[in-house]
Amino acid sequence: MTADEPMTQQERTLRERLQAGLVPPSTPDRLLLTLDAIADHAVRAERPRRRLLDHAPSFGRPGLAGRLRVGLAVVAAIVIVAGALTLGSSFWGQQGVAATPFPALPSAAPHPLPMINQGAWVSPDVAWVEASDDQLYLTDDGGMTWSGPRPLPAMYLREIGFRDASNGWAVFAPQQVEQAPVDVYLTHDGGRSWSKTTVGTISSAVDGHMVGLTLHFSDAEHGVVLAGDYVSLAGGGGMGIVPMTCLGWTTGDGGATWRQLTDAPCALHDWWATPQVGVLLSVETGGPETWLTTDGGETWTKGRLPADMTSAPEVLVFTLAADGTPRLVTAPGGGTADPITTHAGSALETRDGGRTWAVAHDVAPPEDHGAASSGGSAAAGPDDWLITWMRGGVAPATLYETQDAGRTWREVTTLPNGLQGLRWLDRLHAIGGGLDDSGCSRPDATPCHVPTLLLTNDGGETWHGLPIEDPLFPARPTASPAATPTATPTAMPFDSEQAALIARGYGETVPNEYGGVYLDQSTGHVVVLFTANLEQHRQAILDKIGASVPLEVRQAKYTMVKLLALQERISSDMGSKQPAWLKAIPAMLIGSGPDEMHNWLAIEASSANPDAPALILAHYDVPAGMLHVSSDGTGVALMPRGWVDVSVSVPASVTVPPGGSWDIEMVPDGPGLWGGGDIGYGVEPGKSAAVPATEGGWTVRLIACCDATVVGTGHVTVMAGGHVPLVVTVR
Amino acid sequence: MVVADTGASMRGLLVGLGDTPGAVARVTADEAFAALTRRHVDAAFRLAWAILGSTHDAEDAVQDAFALAWRKRSSLRDPDRFEAWFGRILVNVCRERLRGRARSPVRELAVPSAGATGDIPTERPDTAAAPPDVGLRLAVGVALAGLDADHRIVVVLRYWADLTVDEIADRVGVPAGTVKSRLHYALRALGPLLEDVR
């Protein structure tokens, strides 16, 4: 049966009935919005800036994996505000803390906090978050106000954890890299400076593999980092994600030195019932396995779940019964985020230190919404306490609490509209986020999804909302009429890029007030920034581009002229010119450019010094928020480099289609080398490609288009400043 | 505009339209990729819905697939192959969801007015009083629900999406012979269930 093979009568009947009986509904608007948001987020995250080197070095592949680490785990999390807040190390030390009322929050007040990727809430007042602009923010008043930003010391952040407002840890590792360094950074001054320790390396360069990383500190001195190389067997009939390599390191001196575990547990996820008692879950051949620790991760006991669980269950929470018995509240696996909200599950417990687990009792969802249910983050504590939320179909969601590990549930409250993610500090305090769409019913409400931070200090009975900035939905309308988006009731076709160019042309006629222009792809709006006279400029631009173009005018702090002047000032330090102060760090500036969306000048640096971003910022001594420095954390641009001049030899037996070419893949002999960059090189028959690479040995592979087959390999040793010719014969 | 060294052809879709600081008319490889994905949203949703039979699941699957596609986009070496490349990702995601559903079966509700929710009912209601098209939809939903993930996917790809066996083999990642045997089994399983339609 091929394309030319006719169908039998039975097949034709089946085809006819399937095509008549399977009539899909229209694509939901919210799906389109979400996908646009994914694309827009990624595009903005990777929008290239002007580079002064031939290619901006990068360690491994482009940084999307790092940028989207939350979103890729659960796609919806890309639009989940505050959805990935992790629990601080003192999470369980706060039981019974007296409730401190939150001050009334101005529900419509603009706030500088961007969308949150992850964070650590270390007390009812103090929380740290890593936001979507790759910077850290701190609150010491329970979320009412936030200070920062403070730049991260490197790229590829995986987890952060803070003990208090000053002391914290962060672990970094790139994805899909041979021998990727696992770096733990420590700060003792609230993120102003960092020290780095490379605890080891992990490799996940094979396509489809990924690095899992876990960081946990049980107290100020004792911590554990677990790293694994995982592969999805989704296409091969396997049971999902299984570990290939598992490594672990522990520290007893606050992270200054690390010791490798001899028998590291494998797991993608960790759950902690107390700072000392935690559990990991993974899938090995033969069924799911667990590791239990009661000493903060120093030692682990391997165990198995009940034999009838042939696939990994979804673990909702890990808790301790009143007598201290470890309990896992689980539901059948299946890819949903929190299936307890839709399926009955089990509370498993171990009474032999984690070697075996048995069903203690069944757990039923608090409410049966069938397949229409969706659920959110849950939290648990000692004494069988568990809290979670679910909704049946559309918002709003309901918050439920149990005091007996899921046997019975109590409805706490109906949650604020648009809630997407929620994390609990203790039984009273929670922080969450979502998209408030309460204004979407208004015909002129674009954009109408307002990212909101949600706070409670009374166990979820009452909530306070704080609008926050979000790069997915930037430039929310403010109370100023000048910032109100202009949208026509009947959308007319328009060329938004042309409109943006016109707006820029106008802006450049008022250089003392013009701050930039960009296209907001999530809303389709042309967004123009000015430092003053917003309404006047809005009218002037509308006169030129017409009222049918959705236009937003935003308040800017810095004019484009000032940003470009700063760039000009910095340009003398860019690239290999490297003045003495940069050599002293050491660091190299590898790219710069105005970022209109954030209204700052962005610099990309290459440095292994974790303090490089802060030192560079301090050197230029510009007003707060005018300059943003990011570092690759590796200093790879500082390494001496040469070039491999790759050409191909095509035997007569090999037919090359017209215009055919091969991709070049550079594989280093050891860790820490850089070659090729993030653009990708190809080579055509009869031509040569000069591929930059650092000093060392390299295997060069030719990759066939489309099916990723390696059609030829060669090996060279690169010397700094030199060109090494290499002819690769195509097989 | 970023350019590759002499003699090299750049991989991907990088299209530089300007290098003026602050310029907005710049299409990067990622923006081009974004445009590519947007073009395929509707088709992806329809296929996911046909395989999964649920609007909610189809939405999730398409989101998952697009996020995976973003992560793996460097492996797309020829934009002209996007449809097949993304199709493989989407089918894999749908398959995982179906398999997960099989491990933890969800009792979907029989919907009296089929189609109103966009979901395919999986329990056979009394079709005597239902309009003919509703009866057919219900019967198809029930029939497909009786197949496991692998068989349901090949049936939908072959008879609903009109893919050839070779194309299905490419999407599913199994030999063409396996596709044929799955279709053969599925036909046997579906035949009696569709006999009494209407």
Residue numbers in A near B181 (CB within 8 A): none
Give the burial string for A252-282 (b: 16+ CB within 10 Å, else e): eebbeebeebeebbbbbebbbbbbbbbbbbb
Residue numbers in A near B81 (CB within 8 A): 706
Among the partner-chain residues B56, B70, B95, the one whose CB lies closest to the CB of A371 is B56
Among the partner-chain residues B5, B66, B78, the one whose CB lies closest to the CB of A35 is B66
Interface check for A30 against chain B (CB to CB < 8 A): the answer is yes
Residue numbers in B near A13 (CB within 8 A): 194
Cross-chain residue pair B106–A567, CB shorter than 8 Å: no
Q: Is the pLDDT of residue B149 over 60?
A: yes
Interface check for B54 against chain A (CB to CB < 8 A): the answer is yes
CA distance linking residue A647 with residue A679, whole number of Å: 18
Smallest CA-to-CA distance from A326 within A364, A283, A357 is with A357
Q: Tell me if A315 sits within 8 A of A278, measured CB to CB.
A: no
CA distance A561 to chain B (A): 10
The predicted complex's ipTM stands at 0.75
- Per-residue pLDDT band at B153 (split at 50, 70, 90): very high
**Cis peptide leading into A447, omega within 30 of 0?**
yes
Cross-chain residue pair B70–A64, CB shorter than 8 Å: yes
Interface check for B195 against chain A (CB to CB < 8 A): the answer is no
Residue numbers in B near A43 (CB within 8 A): 28, 30-31, 34
- Per-residue pLDDT band at B41 (split at 50, 70, 90): confident
Cross-chain residue pair B191–A28, CB shorter than 8 Å: no
CA distance linking residue A394 with residue A413, whole number of Å: 16
User: Beta strand pairing status for A50-51 and A710-718?
Assistant: unpaired
Residue numbers in A near B26 (CB within 8 A): 47
Interface check for A95 against chain B (CB to CB < 8 A): the answer is no
pLDDT along chain A (731 residues), means of 10: 64 84 75 61 34 21 20 21 27 26 33 58 78 75 75 79 86 72 88 87 65 82 85 42 79 90 78 84 66 91 75 66 82 43 70 89 69 54 70 66 81 72 72 62 50 75 67 35 28 55 80 85 79 90 78 89 87 79 88 81 84 90 86 75 86 74 79 60 76 85 71 89 88 81
Give the burial string for A684-701 (b: 16+ CB within 10 Å, else e): beeebbbbbbbbbebebb
Cross-chain residue pair A370–B71, CB shorter than 8 Å: no
Q: Which residue has the higher pLDDT, B69 or A44?
A: B69
E strand segments, A393-501:
398-402, 410-414, 419-424, 430-436, 450-456, 464-467
Cross-chain residue pair A690–B31, CB shorter than 8 Å: no
Question: What are the Cα distances from residue A465, in Å, to A105, A107, A165, A422, A728?
Answer: 7, 6, 23, 13, 61
Task: Provide the number of CB pairs (under 8 Å) joining chain A to chain B.
Answer: 261
Q: Which of residues 352-391 of A touch B (CB under 8 A)?
A: 370-372, 374
pLDDT at B116: 36
CA distance linking residue B29 with residue B180, whole number of Å: 38
Query: How many C-beta atoms lie closer than 10 Å to residue A187's C-beta?
Result: 22
Cross-chain residue pair A2–B107, CB shorter than 8 Å: no
CA distance linking residue A445 with residue A449, whole number of Å: 9
- Per-residue pLDDT band at B48 (split at 50, 70, 90): very high
Phi, psi torsion values for A378, nearest 5 degrees:
-120, 165
Residues in a beta bridge with A450: A436
Smallest CA-to-CA distance from A458 within A101, A159, A183 is with A101
Residue of chain B with shortest Cα separation from A393:
B56
Interface check for B1 against chain A (CB to CB < 8 A): the answer is no
pLDDT at A86: 28
Mean pLDDT of B123-136: 46
CA distance A677 to chain B (A): 11
pLDDT at A123: 79
CA distance linking residue A699 with residue A688, whole number of Å: 17
CA distance A223 to chain B (A): 31
Q: Which tokens belong to A547? A: 């009222």
Among the partner-chain residues A23, A31, A371, the one whose CB lies closest to the CB of B106 is A371
Interface check for B192 against chain A (CB to CB < 8 A): the answer is no
CA distance B36 to chain A (A): 10
Question: Taking all residues of chain B, what is their mean pLDDT, rounded to a whole number?
Answer: 63
Q: Determine which of A1, A566, A571 to mutate to test the interface with B (most B C-beta atoms within 10 Å).
A: A1
CA distance linking residue A628 with residue A630, whole number of Å: 7
pLDDT at A494: 46
pLDDT at B123: 40
Residue numbers in B near A339 (CB within 8 A): 104
Q: Which of residues 495-534 of A touch B (CB under 8 A)?
A: 497, 500-501, 504, 516-519, 521
Cross-chain residue pair A61–B74, CB shorter than 8 Å: yes
Residue of chain B with shortest Cα separation from A517:
B24
CA A171 to chain centre: 14
Q: Determine which of A11, A27, A58, A529 to mutate to test the interface with B (most B C-beta atoms within 10 Å).
A: A27
Cross-chain residue pair A76–B92, CB shorter than 8 Å: no
Q: Which of residues 126-185 of B touch A (CB under 8 A)?
A: 133, 136-137, 139-141, 155-156, 159-160, 162, 164-167, 173, 180, 183
Residue numbers in B near A681 (CB within 8 A): 4-5, 8-11
Cross-chain residue pair B50–A334, CB shorter than 8 Å: no
Residue numbers in A near B167 (CB within 8 A): 3
Interface check for B123 against chain A (CB to CB < 8 A): the answer is no
Phi, psi torsion values for A229, nearest 5 degrees:
-100, 120
Q: Is the pLDDT of residue B157 over 90?
A: yes
Q: Which amino acid is at B80?
A: D
Interface check for A287 against chain B (CB to CB < 8 A): the answer is no
CA distance linking residue A332 with residue A339, whole number of Å: 7
Q: Determine which of A12, A14, A53, A230 to mutate to test the interface with B (most B C-beta atoms within 10 Å).
A: A14
Residue numbers in A near B19 (CB within 8 A): 50
Among the partner-chain residues A15, A331, A661, the one whose CB lies closest to the CB of B159 is A15
CA distance linking residue B44 with residue A396, whole number of Å: 28
Tokens 């109906």 belong to residue: A414
